[in-house]
Amino acid sequence: MAYSDWTLETVKKAFQLEEVNAAGIFAEIDPVEPSTHLATTLERNVPLAFAMGTEKAKSELIVSAVLVELWEHFDRGISFFSGIDFNVDAENGLTGVCDFLVSLSPAQFHLEAPIIVLVEAKKDNLTVGLGQCVAEMIAAQRFNAESENDTPCIYGAITSGIDWIFLKLDGKRLQLDMAAYQIAQCDKILGILASMVAQKA
């Protein structure tokens, strides 16, 4: 079993999670103004990614650009990885490839704890990726604990490149924000991601 095999229902049951749904969990977070470079990049890339229509195109042209901006926002003091194997616990189905991982470690040549944000890119239906993202968040909890580098919360995002939804895992309490944010609200998306990295979300 791999991350992509999980549904929200199966992962909640297997790991005994308490689900809390609310709209606007991250609504009060201050936006972060995107750089001119990111604004220009998105103005060019979003229509192109939309026209190409694939998950890969949206990841490469939109999501990566946003995460590079996040990396720059923290003066390159964090790291992020794309498309890497994240095999934590094969016995419990916590294996597979993650679209994007963000770590509080600045080490960029290899993954180090603590992992703080998991981002899954999906072509259209974001809810399909909920189980996968939550399973990856649980794996990050375990990875951090095994490295003796825990964080209070693990955060997740599922995105089509255009729409973004955010999650928070605090122990076994899973919060799902029922509000979706659009890439046109890039400042809000950056603000939420930055607050996650700062562990203030």
pTM, whole model, 2 decimals? 0.95
pLDDT category, 23, cuts 50, 70, 90?
A: confident
Mean pLDDT in residue range 84-99: 96
Cα separation, 90 vs 107, whole angstroms: 25
Task: Give yes or no for a contact between 186 and 38, defined as CB atoms under 8 angstroms apart.
Answer: yes
Q: What was the pLDDT predicted at 201?
A: 87
Cα separation, 68 vs 79, whole angstroms: 9
The structural domain count of the chain equals 1
Q: What was the pLDDT predicted at 114?
A: 97
Q: What was the pLDDT predicted at 53?
A: 87
Q: What was the pLDDT predicted at 128?
A: 87
Q: What was the pLDDT predicted at 142?
A: 97
User: Range of 111's domain?
Assistant: 3-197
The region that residue 175 occupies, defined by phi over 0 for left and psi between -120 and 50 for alpha, beta otherwise, is: beta
pLDDT digits (tens, 9 = 90+) for 136-174: 999 999 999 999 998 999 999 999 999 999 999 999 999
3-class DSSP string for the chain: CCHHHCCHHHHHHHHCCEEEEECCCCCCCCCCCCCHHHHHHHHHHHHHHHHHCCHHHHHHHHHHHHHHHHHHHCCCCCEEEEEEECCCEHHHCECCEEEEEEECCCCCCCCCCCEEEEEEECCCCHHHHHHHHHHHHHHHHHHHHHCCCCCCCEEEEEECCCEEEEEEEECCEEEEECCCEEHHHHHHHHHHHHHHHCCCC
Q: What was the pLDDT predicted at 116?
A: 95
Orientation of helix 186-197 relative to helix 36-52, angle to 10°: 110
Residue 126 pLDDT > 80, yes or no? yes
Q: What was the pLDDT predicted at 155?
A: 98
pLDDT digits (tens, 9 = 90+) for 43-67: 999 999 999 989 899 999 999 999 9
Q: What was the pLDDT predicted at 9?
A: 96
Q: What was the pLDDT predicted at 124?
A: 76
Mean pLDDT in residue range 74-101: 96
Pick the range with the lowest mean pLDDT from 60-64, 72-76, 108-112, 124-128. Answer: 124-128
